[in-house]
Amino acid sequence: MNSKLAILKNPPFPSFKATKSLARANRLDLVDRLLETQKLHSQDTPALKSKSFWIRLIMLYSNAGMVPQALQMLNDLSRNRYCNISEKSLCVILTVYLNNGMFEKIHDCFKTLPKKLGVKPKVVSHNLVFKAFVKENKIKSAWAYLKNGDQNGFDRAMKEVINKGFEGNLATYNHRISRLCKSKECARAKKLLDEIVSKGLKPNSASYNTIIDGFCRIGDLESTKKVLDKMLSDEYVLPCSFAYYSLIRSMFDMALEMSKEIIKRKWVPSFEAMEGLVKGLVERSKSEKAKQVVEKMKKRLKGDVLESWGKIEAALPL
């Protein structure tokens, strides 16, 4: 009997899946009722003074897209000082805005909330702001407190952070790598990867895969292969299929362009190479491009050579 009463007095937190389902069903009233009940039943209990309790409430509201209610929870916490306010509280609100795509709010919040809460932003807070800029693709904007928002704004923001005594962590480096690869500065991104290792940090799959994909997109297959080899030799992470697929895709794209140029110049390419190209295109669900290659070959060939190509064409999976 006592255990049943305890369950009633301390109802379990609803799951993130449950609040998401209610939000999709447009039953935000039920989400609010569940979480308010949770808060009510936690009065005069140790849970009310637990930072994790409040963070959980805020993130559940965020998960349901109920940003105003999430912010109200922080206001309650800040006003009543149920537990110590720290940088973690700032990070939670930045995460709420980030997860709900409210990027401008992140920048506004970062200007005012630290002072309001009496906390000093550190690496994690800065990373969330950087992540917002990356998601917006507003590299030129960089940080609001930088007077000059030129193309080097992002890097200058990083220098500003370092000058303030904050050392970047892996998430910071990965954001910088992503930004550089988006602007086709893959060689600089590769140097950052080397810097990660030299500082004793362990790169993750995103660190390597972003650079591999970046080099593939600019057609630098030699550098792509070097990064893939580095991933294997470093042994921080196991290479996944993404890295190999990116390399294969880039090789096929380059081979396709080279074949077009060869045919355009009226040269006769190796039948074996063209057969491999066509089969590869078909396997990658690019049958139309494969057919175009076959047709262009037929137009360029004559006599016995055309007849020989016809035998190969007949065996192709078109």
Residue 34 dihedral angles phi and psi, to the nearest 5°: -60, -45
Q: How far apart are CA 12 and CA 132, in angstroms?
A: 33
Could you identify the residue written with the tokens 């080279």? 258
Say what the pLDDT of residue 193 is.
93
| CB-based contact 127:133 (threshold 8 Å) | no
| CB-based contact 31:61 (threshold 8 Å) | yes
284 assigned to some structural domain: yes
List b or e across 166-190, with b for residues whose CB sees 16 or more CB atoms inside 10 angstroms.
bebebbbbbbbbbbbbeeebbeebb
Q: How many domains does the chain have?
A: 1
Q: How many helices (H) and strands (E) does the chain have?
A: 17, 0
Q: How far apart are CA 82 and CA 61, in angstroms?
A: 19
C-alpha distance from residue 42 to each of 30, 190, 212 (Å) = 18, 51, 50
5 assigned to some structural domain: no
151 assigned to some structural domain: no
71 assigned to some structural domain: no
Instruction: Judge residue 142's burial from the number of C-beta atoms within 10 Å of its C-beta, 0-12 exposed, 13-18 middle, 19 or more buried.
Output: buried
174 assigned to some structural domain: no
52 assigned to some structural domain: no
pLDDT tens string 17-67: 777 788 788 887 887 787 777 766 666 566 666 777 778 888 888 888 888
Say what the pLDDT of residue 137 is.
64
DSSP calls for 165-212: TPPP-HHHHHHHHHHHHHTT-HHHHHHHHHHHHHTT----HHHHHHHH
Pick the closest to residue 59 from 100, 114, 110 (CA basis). 100
What single-letter amino acid sits at 58?
Answer: I
25 assigned to some structural domain: no
CA pseudo-torsion sign 127, 132, 138, 141: negative
Residue 147 dihedral angles phi and psi, to the nearest 5°: -70, -40
Say what the pLDDT of residue 44 is.
58
Say what the pLDDT of residue 156 is.
56
127 assigned to some structural domain: no
CA pseudo-torsion sign 237, 241, 242, 246: positive
| CB-based contact 129:110 (threshold 8 Å) | yes
State the greatest distance between any 2 C-alpha atoms of the chain, in Å, as a whole number.
95
Task: Point out the residues of the chain with pLDDT beneath 70.
Answer: 1-15, 39-49, 78, 80-84, 134, 137-168, 245, 248-256, 258-259, 262-263, 266, 268-271, 273, 305, 315-318
Hey, how many other C-beta atoms are within 10 angstroms of the C-beta on 71?
Answer: 18
Give me the domain span that covers residue 317: 268-318
Say what the pLDDT of residue 192 is.
92
